[in-house]
Structure 1
Amino acid sequence: MKKLIVTIQVELDIPDTWELVEHPDQVQAIKMDDGQYMHMSFLPMMTREFTEDAEWSSECTDEFTESVLDMVADEEVYMKLETH
């Protein structure tokens, strides 16, 4: 078995009213205006095309998604807000 290490950094311009909170599930979450909480994590994207401008989709079977999630040995998510 091999180990794949993926580092993802995403910078988003978000509304000033969104805030970072510590969710009771002990994860950092973004509190949005509509009362929902969003946790950022990776989303596998799939294609069958090995060509430039391939169409990518996050659609896959629940079984495949579960198998990928079962492969995750560790996950670390850190979010911070910067105001300018």
Structure 2
Amino acid sequence: MKKLLVTIQLELDIPDTWDLVEHPDQVQAIKMDDGQYMHMSFLPMMTKDFKAGAEWSSECPDEFTEEVLDMVADEEVLMKLELN
């Protein structure tokens, strides 16, 4: 079996009212205005086209999504707020 390492860094401009909190599930989460909490993680994108301009979608069978998630051996998510 091979090991695939994926590093993802996002920079988002978010509303001033959103805040980072430590969720009781022991993950960092973004507390949004509507009372929801959002945890950032990866989302596999799929296409059948191997050419420029292909259409990509996150839609795939639930079984495949579960299979990919089962392949995740470790995940580290670090979020920080930078105030302007």
State the TM-score, normalized to the length of structure 2: 1.00
1-structure distance, mates of 2:56, 2:22: 32
Where does structure 1 differ by over 3 angstroms across 4 or more consecutive aligned residues? none
Which 5+ residue runs of structure 1 have no aligned equivalent? none
2-structure distance, mates of 1:53, 1:13: 27
2-structure distance, mates of 1:39, 1:48: 29
2-structure distance, mates of 1:66, 1:26: 22
Which 5+ residue runs of structure 2 have no aligned equivalent? none
1-structure distance, mates of 2:59, 2:11: 24
CA shift at 1:76, angstroms? 0.2
- Measured on the aligned residues, the alpha-carbon RMSD in Å equals 0.2
2-structure distance, mates of 1:48, 1:10: 26
**SS of residue paired to 1:63:** helix
Aligned to 1:27: 27
**SS of residue paired to 1:67:** helix
1-structure distance, mates of 2:62, 2:51: 26
2-structure distance, mates of 1:20, 1:51: 39
Q: Within 5 Å, which residues of 2 pair with 1:1-84?
A: 1-84=1-84
Deviations 1:2-35 (A, max 9, x none): 0000000000000000000000000000000000
State the number of aligned residues. Answer: 84
Percentage identity across aligned positions? 85
**SS of residue paired to 1:20:** strand
